[in-house]
Structure 1
Amino acid sequence: MSVRFDIHPSPRYPHPRAMLTLIKPITWFPPIWAYLCGVIASGVPLSSAPVAVLTGMILAGPVVCGMSQAANDWCDRHVDAINEPNRPIPSGAIPGRWGLWIALMMSVLALALGATLGPWGGGATVFGVLAAWAYSAEPVRLKKSGIWGPGLVGLCYEGLPWFTGAAVLSAGAPSFPAVILALLYALGAHGIMTLNDFKALEGDRQTGVNSLPVTLGPERAARMACWVMALPQLLVIVLLVAWDRPYHALAIAALVAAQLWAMRILLSDPKGRAPWYNATGVTLYVSGMMIAAFALRTMEGTP
Structure 2
Amino acid sequence: MQRPALSAVAELLKPITWFPPMWAFGCGVVASGMPAEGRWPLIVAGVLLAGPFVCATSQAVNDWFDRHVDAINEPQRPIPSGRMPGHWGLYIAVVWTLLSLLLAWQLGPVGFLAGMVGLLLAWAYSAPPLRLKRNGWWGNAACGLCYEGLAWITGAAVMAMGELPDGRSLALALLYSLGAHGIMTLNDFKSMKGDRQMGIASLPVMLGAPRAAQVASLVMAVPQVVVALLLWHWGQGWHGLAVAGLLAVQLLMMKRFVAQPLARAVWYSGAGVPLYVSGMLVSAFALRGIVT
After TM superposition, the structure 1 = structure 2 runs for residues 104-119 of structure 1, keeping only pairs within 5 Å, are 104-119=94-109
Equivalent residues in 2 for 1:136-155 (5 A)?
136-155=126-145
Letter matched to residue 270 of structure 2: A
Q: Specify the alignment match of 2:39 in structure 1.
A: 49
What CA distance in whole angstroms lies between the structure 2 residues aligned with 1:119 and 1:295?
Answer: 28
Q: 1:24 — aligned with what?
A: 14
- What is the 5 A alignment of 1:189-228? 189-228=180-219
- Look up the match of 2:283: 292
Q: In structure 2, what is the equivalent of residue 3 of structure 1?
A: none
Per the alignment, residue 27 of structure 2 pairs with 37
SS in 2 for 1:147: helix
Runs of 4+ with deviation above 2 angstroms: none
Report how far residue 195 of structure 1 moved: 1.2
Q: Does 1:167 align with 2:152?
A: no
Alignment partner of 1:70 out of 50, 60, 74 = 60
SS at match of 1:94: coil
Separation in 1, partners of 2:112, 2:166: 19
The answer to whether structure 1 residue 272 and structure 2 residue 263 are counterparts is: yes
Q: C-alpha distance in 2, partners of 1:258/1:92?
A: 42
In 2, Cα distance between the equivalents of 1:60 and 1:47? 21
CA positional deviation for 1:48: 2.8
In structure 2, give the amino acid aligned to 1:247. W
Deviations 1:46-78 (A, max 9, x none): 123000000011110011101100000000000
Instruction: State the Cα deviation string for residues 166-197 of structure 1 (Å, max 9, x = none).
Output: 00001111111110000000000000001111
Partner of 1:121: 111
How many residue pairs get aligned? The number is 291
The CA deviation string for residues 266-297 of structure 1, in whole angstroms up to 9 with x for no partner, is 01100110000001110000000000000011
How many Å separate the matches in 1 of 2:31 and 2:106? 21
**Partners of 1:265 and 1:102 in 2: how far apart?**
40
SS of aligned partner of 2:283 = helix
Structure 1 residue aligned with 2:146: 156
Shift of 1:148: 0.3
- In percent, how many aligned pairs have the same letter? 56
2:252 maps to what in 1? 261
Contiguous gaps of at least 5 residues in structure 2: none
State the shift of 1:101 in Å. Answer: 0.3
- SS state at 2:136 partner: coil
Aligned partner letter, 2:67: R
Q: Give SS of 2:56's match.
A: helix
Deviations 1:232-269 (A, max 9, x none): 00000111011000000010010000000000110110
Cα separation, 2, equivalents of 1:216 and 1:152: 19
Q: How does 1:82-97 map to 2 (within 5 A)?
A: 82-97=72-87
Query: Aligned partners of 2:166, 2:34: CA distance in 1, in Å?
Result: 12
Q: What is the alpha-carbon distance in structure 2 between the residues aligned to residue 86 and residue 242 of structure 1? A: 50
Offset at residue 164 of structure 1 (A): 0.3
Q: Aligned residue for 2:71?
A: 81
Q: Which consecutive residues of structure 1, in runs of 5 or more, have no partner in the other structure?
A: 1-10
TM-score by length of 2: 0.99
